[in-house]
Amino acid sequence: MKNLLILHGGGPTAVLNASLYGALEAAKADQTVGKILAARGGSGGLLRRAWIDLRQVPAPQLALLPQTPGSAIGSSRDRLGEGEYRAMAEILREEEIGYLLVTGGNGTMDTAGKIWQACQGAGFDIRVIGIPKTMDNDIAVTDHAPGYGSAARFIAGSTRELAADIRSLPIHVVILETSGRNAGWVAAASALAGEELGPDLICLPERPFVEEAFLEAVSRKLREKKGLLVVVSEGLRDPDGKPVADPAFTIGRDVYFGDVGGSLASLIQRKLGYKSRAEKPGLLGRASIAWQSATDREEAIQAGAFAARAVLAGESGKMAAFRRKPGEGYCCELFLAPFERVMMEEKKLPESFIRPDGFGVTEAFIRYASPLIGGDLPEMAGF
Instruction: Answer yes or no: do 120 and 162 share one domain.
Output: no
Q: Are residues 120 and 161 in the same domain?
A: no
Q: Which residues have C-beta within 8 Å of that of residue 94, sequence separation ≥ 6?
A: none
If asked whether residues 156 and 236 sit together in one domain, one would say yes
Query: Where residue 295 sits, what CATH number does that domain have?
Result: 3.40.50.450
Q: Based on the domain organization, do 60 and 82 belong to the same domain?
A: yes
Q: Of these residues, 110, 125, 136, 254, which one is catalytic? A: 136
Q: Do residues 90 and 203 share a domain?
A: no
Q: What is the pTM of this model?
A: 0.96
Shared domain for 126 and 171, answered yes or no, is no
Question: 121 is in which domain, residue-wise?
Answer: 2-146+290-341
In a domain, 378, yes or no: no
Shared domain for 18 and 156, answered yes or no, is no
Compute the half-sphere exposure of residue 149: CA atoms within 13 Å on the CB side of its CA. Answer: 24
Determine, yes or no, domain membership for 380: no
Find the Cα–Cα–Cα–Cα dihedral 322, 325, 326, 328, rounded to 10°. -110
Quick check: is 136 catalytic? yes
| Same structural domain, 96 and 243 | no
Report if residue 379 sits inside a domain.
Answer: no
Task: Specify the number of domains making up the chain.
Answer: 2
Q: What are the start-end ranges of the H helices in the chain?
A: 16-28, 42-48, 59-63, 82-94, 106-122, 148-168, 185-188, 211-224, 260-272, 284-287, 294-312, 363-369
Q: Indicate if the alpha-carbon torsion angle 365, 366, 368, 370 is positive or negative.
A: positive
Q: Are residues 94 and 129 in the same domain?
A: yes
Domain containing residue 192: CATH number: 3.40.50.460
Q: pLDDT tens for the chain, 383 residues: list them.
A: 899 999 999 999 999 999 999 999 999 999 999 999 999 999 999 999 999 999 999 999 999 999 999 999 999 999 899 999 999 999 999 999 999 999 999 999 999 999 999 999 999 999 999 999 999 999 999 999 999 999 999 999 999 999 999 999 999 999 999 999 899 999 999 999 999 999 999 999 999 999 999 999 999 999 999 999 999 999 999 999 999 987 766 665 556 667 999 999 999 999 999 999 999 999 999 999 999 999 999 999 999 999 999 999 999 999 999 999 998 899 999 999 999 999 878 999 999 999 999 999 999 999 999 999 999 999 999 88
